[in-house]
Amino acid sequence: MADKPFIARGFHGRRAAAPPGRLPPGQYETRDFPVLSAGPTPHTSLTAWDFTIRGADDASPSVRWSWDELQALPHETPTVDIHCVTKWSKFDTKWEGVSVDTLLDAARAAGVANGAFVLAYCDGGYTTNLPLADVTGGKAWVAFGYDGAPLAPEHGGPARLLVPHLYFWKSAKWVRGLTLLPNDEPGFWEQLGYHDRGDPWREQRYRGDP
Amino acid sequence: MNEAIGESVATPPRLEWQVASVVSVTQETPRARTLVLAVPRWAGHRAGQHVDLRLVAEDGYQAQRSYSIASAPADGMVALTVERLDDGEVSPYLCDVVQPGDGVELRGPIGGYFVWEPAQRGPLFLVAGGSGIVPLMAMLRQRGRADVAARAQVPVRLLYSARTLDDVIYRAELEQLADASQAEVVLTLTRQAPPGWSGYHRRVDRTMLEAVSWPSSDEPNVYVCGPTSLVESVATLLVELGHAASRVRTERFGPTG
Ligand SMILES: Cc1cc2nc3c(=O)[nH]c(=O)nc-3n(C[C@H](O)[C@H](O)[C@H](O)COP(=O)(O)OP(=O)(O)OC[C@H]3O[C@@H](n4cnc5c(N)ncnc54)[C@H](O)[C@@H]3O)c2cc1C
């Protein structure tokens, strides 16, 4: 749409030192690691923790990993830029985790009913929805390490989803599993007016954004 | 955006950018300022929601930030209160440069979880740190507009942590609410306290929360807003004190405490 921007009188801004092409529209670079979530931080012990992939209908088998079983899978250490819908971006964040591809391969092998969408579910009741294509092909991880240390609870530890090419609310904190769904189902923020997909480069912040 | 009003999930089909005009500015504290805005297409908001503000420079450079709405839904205008961060990009502009008659680009209202509706019965416990008072003030103001019977259904307590007494935003209005027994207001000062100060003089801690909050058995609706460090510690302590996590809603304003 021909949204002609309105010039703010006397606003010059503090030019981002960010290399061109690295900061999506409306974002600014931060060196902190801000925290955003809707409620208190859950604290789940590793012995009680597990990660499950299941199908939409109850008849589908599911696969479950304990903490130790997940740790035994091949680790990857992606270095990625992350973009939060509250406007901050952080460059070159270093993570450690297991690729969602690895987990989905195991789920397929175990006969979990496939679907074109996933709903990630978390401790604390948080959910977020993603097209399967956004969590496959080396684009998404279940991450448990950040910057060389275990992921802190306020940042989603023991484990969070990491889907860096979408706004960071899609990288669900305290993740405990994925449900494969035939149809898209809005998650927590998506039901509250946030965009269904959340591509920062298209500035898909809120429902109705292009 | 009209169809969104009154729905439990306020989600307009499309949040359009629009230019609001600054009607007035009020210095609230040495570091915080309220901007009252006339927004041409405003379908109303719910207490606790925020707007996104966009500033575009002559050469097209732009910055966006979120600001909570301080006014009650029935007030007929949108008031924002901005705390000036000395090394900030946007807040010094809003606190020093903007004057009545200027336009600012915004879209909203945004946010559907950190909201309070008068229909939510039960005690209301508000915990604010610094400018985190802003969305909570919208809740206090909305409750203040209700009749006596409706107010009696929703007793309210505010625990507000500020650096000094001079940094307490909306201080006169909060004192009036307290004097009129409309709300219990408890301040805690984390830096200097004035001579003779008899209130709390430390960061919010477990003992303070136990003393000020309703017991979890009263099932208060809790809203916590402020810097990340305060929100993290208060929300964790409240859950330890037995409050259901689902009843503790949080909004984190900034990365640092
Ligand atoms: C949903 C939401 C609602 C908000 N409501 C309000 C509001 O009602 N009033 C208000 O004043 N602010 C509010 N904020 C914060 C606001 O959006 C900006 O982050 C703030 O004004 C700082 O912007 P800036 O451009 O001046 O500083 P920046 O240039 O972004 O940052 C400058 C420095 O300050 C640090 N910093 C950034 N934000 C904060 C903070 N909040 N506290 C301490 N340090 C910080 C940064 O790390 C950096 O070092 C809200 C934020 C969110 C996400």
- pLDDT, one tens digit per residue, over A146-161 is 999 999 998 999 999 9
User: Does a structural domain hold residue A20?
Assistant: yes
> Does any domain span residue A64?
yes
* B162/B246 same-domain check: yes
Could you give the C-alpha distances from A198 to A93, A121, A195, A210, in angstroms and in order?
Answer: 19, 18, 5, 10
Q: Are residues B100 and B141 in the same domain?
A: no
CATH number at residue B151: 3.40.50.80
Residue B233 has pLDDT above 80, yes or no: yes
| Chain A residues closer than 8 Å to B95 by CB | none
Q: Which domain holds residue B204?
A: 124-253
Between residues A5 and A29, the one the model is more confident about = A29
Domain count for chain B: 2
Whether residues B242 and B130 share a domain: the answer is yes
- Kindly state whether residue A177 falls inside one of the protein's structural domains: yes
- B87 assigned to some structural domain: yes
Q: Of B86, B110, B134, which closes a domain?
A: B110
Under an 8 A CB cutoff, do A13 and B57 touch? yes
Is B91 a residue whose pLDDT tops 90?
A: yes
CATH number assigned to the domain comprising residue B26: 2.40.30.10
pLDDT tens digits, one per residue of A78-133 = 999 999 998 999 999 999 999 999 999 999 999 999 999 999 999 988 999 999 99
Residue B256's pLDDT is 41
Q: Do B246 and A30 touch (CB under 8 A)?
A: no
Q: What is the pLDDT of residue A36?
A: 75
**Domain boundary residue, one of B82, B110, B138:** B110
Q: What is the ipTM of this complex?
A: 0.81
Provide mean pLDDT across the span A158-180. Answer: 97
N-terminal to C-terminal alpha carbon distance within chain A: 9
Q: What is the pLDDT of residue B255?
A: 55
Pocket of ligand 1 (CB under 6 A): A 30, 32, 86; B 50, 65-68, 81-83, 85, 87-91, 131, 134, 227, 251, 253-256
DSSP secondary structure letter of residue A208 = T
Instruction: Check whether residue B159 and residue B222 sit in a common domain.
Output: yes
Q: Hey, what are B42's tokens?
A: 């405003």
Token couple for B208: 């303070």
* Same domain for B56 and B164: no
In chain A, DSSP finds a helix count (H) and a strand count (E) of: 3, 11
Cα A60 to Cα B194: distance, rounded to the nearest angstrom: 66
The reply to whether A6 falls in a domain is no
* pLDDT value for B8: 40
* Structural domains of chain A, count: 1
At residue A3 the predicted structure's pLDDT band, cuts being 50, 70 and 90, is low
- Predicted confidence (pLDDT) per residue in B151-164, tens digit: 888 999 999 999 99
CB neighbour list of residue A58: distance below 8 Å, 6 or more residues apart: none
CATH number of the domain to which A153 belongs: 3.90.420.10
Residue B46 lies in a domain: yes
pLDDT reported for residue A13: 87
User: Confidence band (pLDDT; 50, 70, 90) for B214?
Assistant: very high
Model pLDDT, residue B7: 38
Percentage of chain B beyond pLDDT 90 is 81
Could you tell me if B160 and B205 lie in one domain?
A: yes
**Average pLDDT of B186-209?**
97
Q: State what percent of residues in chain A have pLDDT above 90.
A: 79
Q: What is the mean pLDDT of residues B133-137?
A: 98
Distance from CA of A207 to the nearest CA of B (A): 6
- Contact check, Cβ <8 Å, B255/A205: no
In a domain, B221, yes or no: yes
Average pLDDT over residues B135-140: 98
Cβ atoms B213, B242 nearer than 8 A = no
The letter for the amino acid at A20 is P
From B251, B253, B256, give the residue whose CB has the most ligand 1 atoms within 8 Å, as the site to mutate. B253
- Name the E strands within chain A: 28-29, 50-55, 62-66, 79-83, 88-99, 117-122, 127-131, 141-146, 149-150, 160-162, 175-181
DSSP A137: S
pLDDT at A33 over 50: yes
pLDDT of residue B131: 97
Q: Decide: A63 and A53 in contact? Cβ < 8 Å.
A: yes
Q: Is A118 helix (H, G, I), strand (E, B) or coil?
A: strand
Give the end of a domain, one of B60, B77, B110.
B110
Cα-flanking dihedrals φ and ψ of residue A51, to 5°? -130, 130
B64 assigned to some structural domain: yes
For position A5, what pLDDT does the model report? Answer: 78
pLDDT for residue A77 is more than 70: yes
Please name the residue of chain A whose CA is at the shortest distance from the CA of residue B107: A206
Q: Which residue's CA is the nearest one to ligand 1's atom 38?
A: B254
| Owning domain of residue A83 | 15-202
A56: which residues sit within 8 A by CB, 6+ positions away? A113, A115, A179, A180, A181, A182
Q: Which residue has the tokens 């969590």?
A: A135
DSSP letters spanning chain B = -GGGTT-SS---S----EEEEEEEEEEEETTEEEEEEE-SS-----BT-EEEEEEE-TTS-EEEEEEEB-S-GGGSSEEEEEEPPTT-SSHHIIIII--TT-EEEEEEEE-SSS-B-TTS-S-EEEEEEGGGHHHHHHHHHHHHHS-HHHHHTS-EEEEEEESSGGG-TTHHHHHHHHHTTS-EEEEEESS---TT--SB-S---HHHHHHHSPPGGG--EEEEEESHHHHHHHHHHHHHTT--GGGEEEEE--S--
Q: pLDDT value at position A201?
A: 97
